[in-house]
Amino acid sequence: MKIIYTDNNATTKVADEVIREMTPFLGEYYGNPSSMHTFGGQVGRKVRLARQQVADLINAEPDEIVFTSCGTESDNAAIFSALNTFPEKKHIVTSKVEHPAINQLYKHLKREKGYDVTFVPVDSKGRLDLDLLYGSLTDQTAVVSVMWANNETGVLFPVEEISKKVTEKGILFHTDAVQAAGKVPIDVKAANVDMLSLSGHKIHAPKGIGVLYVKKGLKFTPYLIGGHQEQGRRGGTENTVAIIGLGKACELAKENLPLVNTKVKELRDYLQTQLLEKIPAASVNGDPENRLPNTLSIGFDAVEGESILLLLDRDGICASSGSACTSGSLDPSHVLMAMDVPLKSAHGSIRFSLSHYNTKAEMDRIIDSLVPTIERLRQMSPFWKDGKVV
Ligand SMILES: *Cc1c(COP(=O)(O)O)cnc(C)c1O
């Protein structure tokens, strides 16, 4: 059975072009890019090209790009550097719906380091309460971190507007753009962000490579202290193979952006329309008007998300409930909870996240699998009677 992969917000297939680009550097060209000899220099040249390719995706300069080990490291490095810049300031701000890489870090800073944390709430469509965000800012606020796009619902936050309001008060602004990259245009200059995180494995590069954009001139304190790599902003010999792959992936992401916003969006919209039409008591989570083009979070009343996923899995369909990081726990995700999604549909929520590798035939196979699956689960559900939720 051929697998249908619709879990691209969890991780993506490494593009064949990316593998081709990396392979020689995994084998033959193993030099250290910092070495004086020509053999290492060849690798160094390729790493420089990759830095340029990454910068081009987000309209940055190459020396504003710091390679890290993952999106999580980028998020942590950004916040710790910001706190180091303002050691006397003890207030930090974020949203209630961040990825654990920010959410858990902020909770840790509150619990272990005594920071005063504002977790800005969202409304039932996942839209940020901007008045509350701006109202929370004081002369004690060191940093605001708000994601560009939500990994579970795909909801987009108005990062440009927030950044302007935050930075004009002398407060640092970081955004986690891991899910936005390759799906919506990112321009760090127009958005005027201080720091921005990316992750390779969400954009068809391998796992274990991340990026932190650090605005030129911004004071930056390294998180990993060691050698002079990354201009002293992150010690440790570069993951040259993954960096080279990420460069290629960024070049492809830029080329494929129009495709994601036409073909992929059409597939997502088709899947959504068909499911809403064919399955009663189903609802879309998030803001349909302002959402990533590839993401569909959809709740089915009176069934369990985990059961849906198991049955889809038997048909070779990979989707997700909540986020991969929260599965294994029985609570609905903190994102759906923050949106006050009613428990009856939050529990039965699953996420499809598509890529340009998906096809219409795959969407039809998902629909053909899911419609009878929900019907069957509802026949067994104590919360469903005579075609209605009880
Ligand atoms: C996946 C993800 C991360 C973490 O990236 P890793 O490279 O897996 O550490 C951070 N933020 C968001 C929004 C993500 O989707």
Ranges assigned E (strand) in 215-273: none
Residue whose CB lies within 8 A of the most ligand 1 atoms, among 152, 178, 320, for a mutation test: 178
* Domain shared by 62 and 83, yes or no: yes
* Domain shared by 265 and 297, yes or no: yes
* Domain shared by 231 and 310, yes or no: no
> Residue 329 pLDDT more than 80?
no
Name the nearest CA neighbour of 370 among 266, 269, 274, 263.
274
Token pair listed for 216: 């030129």
Ranges assigned E (strand) in the chain: 4-5, 65-68, 91-95, 116-120, 141-145, 172-176, 195-199, 210-214, 282-284, 295-300, 317-318, 349-353, 384-385, 388-389
* Domain shared by 88 and 175, yes or no: yes
* Domain shared by 168 and 291, yes or no: no
* Domain shared by 215 and 315, yes or no: no
Closest-lying ligand 1 atom to the alpha carbon of residue 101: 10
> Residue 324 pLDDT more than 50?
no
pLDDT level of residue 304 (50, 70, 90 thresholds):
very high
> Residue 261 pLDDT more than 50?
yes
* Domain shared by 238 and 327, yes or no: no
Q: Can you give the pLDDT at residue 321?
A: 86
How are beta strands 295-300 and 349-353 bridged, if at all?
antiparallel
Query: 79, exposed or middle or buried, with CB in 10 Å at 0-12, 13-18, 19+?
Result: buried
Name the nearest CA neighbour of 246 among 86, 83, 78, 66.
66
Q: 203 alpha carbon to ligand 1 midpoint, in Å?
A: 11
Q: Can you give the pLDDT at residue 1?
A: 84
CATH number of the CATH domain containing 43: 3.40.640.10
* Domain shared by 314 and 360, yes or no: yes
Residue finishing a domain among 186, 218, 252: 252
Closest-lying ligand 1 atom to the alpha carbon of residue 200: 7
- Asked if residue 282 has its Cβ within 6 Å of ligand 1, the reply is no
Q: Can you give the pLDDT at residue 40?
A: 95
- Asked if residue 293 has its Cβ within 6 Å of ligand 1, the reply is no
Closest-lying ligand 1 atom to the alpha carbon of residue 10: 1
Q: 390 alpha carbon to ligand 1 midpoint, in Å?
A: 38
Q: 9 alpha carbon to ligand 1 midpoint, in Å?
A: 9
Neighbours of 108 (CB within 10 A): 12
Q: 376 alpha carbon to ligand 1 midpoint, in Å?
A: 34
**% of residues, the chain, pLDDT over 70:** 98
Q: Can you give the pLDDT at residue 330?
A: 64
Name the nearest CA neighbour of 55 among 44, 46, 66, 45.
66
Q: Residues 111-143: pLDDT tens digits?
A: 999 999 999 999 999 999 999 999 999 999 999
**How many domains would you assign to the chain?**
2
Q: Residues 210-259: pLDDT tens digits?
A: 999 999 999 999 999 999 999 999 999 999 999 999 999 999 999 999 99
Closest-lying ligand 1 atom to the alpha carbon of residue 74: 9
Residue type, 311: L
Query: 90, exposed or middle or buried, with CB in 10 Å at 0-12, 13-18, 19+?
Result: middle
Name the nearest CA neighbour of 60 among 161, 163, 210, 189.
189
How are beta strands 210-214 and 282-284 bridged, if at all?
unpaired
* Domain shared by 209 and 67, yes or no: yes
pLDDT level of residue 25 (50, 70, 90 thresholds):
very high
Q: Can you give the pLDDT at residue 328?
A: 53
- Asked if residue 199 has its Cβ within 6 Å of ligand 1, the reply is yes
Q: 184 alpha carbon to ligand 1 midpoint, in Å?
A: 16
Token pair listed for 165: 């309001």
CB 186, CB 180: distance < 8 Å: yes
> Residue 325 pLDDT more than 60?
no
Interatomic CA distance for residues 261 and 183, integer angstroms:
7
Q: Residues 241-250: pLDDT tens digits?
A: 999 999 999 9
Assess whether 325 carries a catalytic annotation.
yes
> Residue 58 pLDDT more than 70?
yes
First-residue to last-residue Cα distance in the chain? 37
Neighbours of 156 (CB within 10 A): 22
**What letter would DSSP give residue 303?**
S
Q: 101 alpha carbon to ligand 1 midpoint, in Å?
A: 7
Going by C-beta distance under 8 Å and a sequence separation of 6 or more, which residues neighbour residue 155?
A: 97, 122, 125, 126, 127, 149, 286, 287, 290, 291
- Asked if residue 71 has its Cβ within 6 Å of ligand 1, the reply is yes
**What is the overall mean pLDDT for the chain?**
96
* Domain shared by 160 and 30, yes or no: yes
Residue whose CB lies within 8 A of the most ligand 1 atoms, among 176, 212, 326, for a mutation test: 176
Catalytic residue among 70, 250, 318, 325: 325
Q: Can you give the pLDDT at residue 332?
A: 82
CATH number of the CATH domain containing 375: 3.90.1150.10
- Alpha carbon nearest to ligand 1 atom 5, residue: 71
The pTM (predicted TM-score) of the whole model is 0.96
Q: Residues 357-378: pLDDT tens digits?
A: 999 999 999 999 999 999 999 9
Interatomic CA distance for residues 212 and 58, integer angstroms:
11
- Asked if residue 210 has its Cβ within 6 Å of ligand 1, the reply is yes
* Domain shared by 43 and 66, yes or no: yes
> Residue 323 pLDDT more than 60?
no
Residue finishing a domain among 198, 220, 252: 252
**What letter would DSSP give residue 205?**
S
- Asked if residue 72 has its Cβ within 6 Å of ligand 1, the reply is yes
**% of residues, the chain, pLDDT over 90:** 95
Closest-lying ligand 1 atom to the alpha carbon of residue 98: 13
Give the structural domain span for 367.
4-11+257-389
* Domain shared by 20 and 48, yes or no: yes
Residue finishing a domain among 222, 252, 282: 252
